[in-house]
Amino acid sequence: MNSKKILLVTGSTGLIGSEIVSRLSGDYELVYGIDNNERSKFFGKSGSNLKTKNFLLKNIKNYKHINLDITNKKKVFNLIDLLKPKDLAHCAAQPSHDTAAKIPLRDFDVNASATLNLMDAVRIKSKKTCVVYF
């Protein structure tokens, strides 16, 4: 069992996730952020979160970035089993209603199936993790 006080933030380079990383990083030994910059696929170059990712890596000394698609159930289960975070802030989402209409199956996978994957992984692999869903 992991003895470090770990925060895991999905959507860590998005608007809400990056603020959680910035504001709570001092309360944890390690902060892991999951984000695969899928926004750049949905919204083009202007939607990219790379600047935010680089800012977090440079300025938050205990921040580690993981490029992971949270719809990948096996990888999510493996990560939760490995980290056993104390807390998990789930901020990842496909946020655009206009985009959702164009890609309904992917939108459902990102917003619903991935949330179920995370919750199931915590239920099975890390029962003491506290999850907050944004």
Give the least confident one: 2-11, 53-62, 81-90, 112-121.
Answer: 2-11
Residue 86 main-chain phi, psi, to 5 deg: -65, -45
Tell me: pLDDT of 71 over 80. Answer: yes
Q: Which amino acid is at 106?
A: R
* 73: its two tokens: 């159930």
- Say what the pLDDT of residue 30 is: 98
DSSP assignments along the chain, one per residue: ---S-EEEEETTTSHHHHHHHHHHGGGSSEEEEE---THHHHH-GGG--HHHHHHHHHH-TTEEEE---TT-HHHHHHHHHHH--SEEEE------HHHHHH-HHHHHIIIIIHHHHHHHHHHHH-TT-EEEE-
Tens of pLDDT, residues 77-104: 999 999 999 999 999 987 767 777 888 8
Give the least confident one: 5-9, 16-20, 45-49, 88-92.
Answer: 45-49
Tens of pLDDT, residues 30-65: 999 999 987 777 777 887 999 999 999 999 999 999
Q: Do the Cβ atoms of 7 and 31 come closer than 8 Å?
A: yes
Q: In terms of pLDDT, which residue wins out, 47 or 110?
A: 110
* 132: its two tokens: 């907050």
Instruction: Report d(CA 70, CA 13) in Å as an integer.
Output: 14
**Residue ranges of the domains in the chain?**
6-133
Q: In terms of pLDDT, which residue wins out, 37 or 11?
A: 11
Topology classification of domain 6-133? Rossmann fold (3.40.50)
Averaged confidence pLDDT in the chain: 92
